Amino acid sequence: MLTIKNLHAQVEEKKILKGINLQVNAGEVHAIMGPNGSGKSSLASVLAGRQNFEVTEGSALLEDKDLLDLSPEDRAREGLFLAFQYPVEIPGVSNINFLKTALNEIRAYKGLQPLDARSFLALTRERQKLVEFDAQFTNRSLNEGFSGGEKKRNEIFQLAMLEPKLSILDETDSGLDIDALRIVSNGVNKLRSANNAFILITHYQRLLDYIVPDFVHVLYDGRIIRSGTKELALELEERGYDWLKEEVALQGQL
C-alpha cells in the first residue's frame, strides 16, 4: 500500500529524514517509535505534504500514486489520513459541516455524487457509535474548546467518517487518560480491515497493548535503525533507546 524508498527531507537547511525505507501492506499495522527529535512527526508531515518540508531525494508511493507529486488535498483524497498530534481549532465552523465538506470533496475526486443529507446523517450516527464519539461534539465548532482528549477522539471520528486507505496516527495516545486510550484504540481496532493500513507514531508501548502492531520500527536521527515485531516495543520499554543509539554509533565507527 505504502512504499517509501530512500526518503530524504529537510526543513530550511536542516536535514531531518536521511534515507527512510518502509513498506506497509494492506491489512497491516506498523508502529514507529523512537526518541524525541528523531524525525517521527516529520515523516508524517512529509507524507501529508506539509509546507516547508522539502523532499530532496527518494520516493513515496501510495499504491501506484506518487504522493510527492500531489497537493496535500489530493493526497488526502487518494486515501492518506493524518490524525494530528495537535489538532487545530477552527472557530465558527461546525464539526459536522466541516466533515460534510471533506467527505464530499473526497467523493467528488473519485467521481461520486455528494452524499445526500439523509445518508450523511445516517453515516454520522453509525460512525459516532463505532468510535464512541459523543454526539454533542459533532455540532460544536471544530475542536474549539475541546480538551486534549476530545480533540484526539475527534481525529478518530474523522478517520471513521472518511475511510482512508492509509492512516497515520501521530502520537494520538499522548495526553489521553486510560479510558480515552481504550476508546480510541477500540475505534481503531474496529476500523482495521484487510483493505486499509495504519502507521502508529508513539512514545509508549502502552498503546501497543491495545492496538497490536504487525511491525515495530525504531526511528533515530532520520533513519529506521531497527525493525521487529511487538517484542521490540517491549524491549524498548525495558531498556530505553540508549543501547540502540550505541549500536548505531558503533556501526558508524566501523
What residues make contact with other proteins under the rule CB under 8 A? 48-51, 71-73, 75-77, 81-82, 84, 87-88, 90-93, 97-98, 101-103, 105-106, 109, 141-142, 158, 162
Instruction: Report the residue number, 83 or 225, with the smaller CB distance to other proteins.
Output: 83
Instruction: Report the residue number, 39 or 79, with the smaller CB distance to other proteins.
Output: 79
Q: Which residues contact 228 (CB under 8 A, 6 or more apart)?
A: 215, 216
Instruction: Report the residue number, 101 or 147, with the smaller CB distance to other proteins.
Output: 101
State the Cα torsion 181-182-184-188 to the nearest 10°: 130
- Give the shortest CB-49-to-other proteins separation in angstroms: 7
State the Cα torsion 6-245-219-18 to the nearest 10°: -30
List the grid coordinates of 31.
508502529
- Give the shortest CB-149-to-other proteins separation in angstroms: 18
Q: How far apart are CA 168 and CA 150, in angstroms?
A: 18
For 118, list phi and psi in degrees, rounded to 5: -65, -50
Instruction: Report the residue number, 43 or 225, with the smaller CB distance to other proteins.
Output: 43
- Give the shortest CB-53-to-other proteins separation in angstroms: 9
Instruction: Report the residue number, 23 or 56, with the smaller CB distance to other proteins.
Output: 56
- Other CB atoms within a 10 A radius of the CB of residue 95 amount to 22
Nearest Cα to Cα of residue 224 among 201, 197, 192: 201
- Give the shortest CB-139-to-other proteins separation in angstroms: 13
- Give the shortest CB-195-to-other proteins separation in angstroms: 19
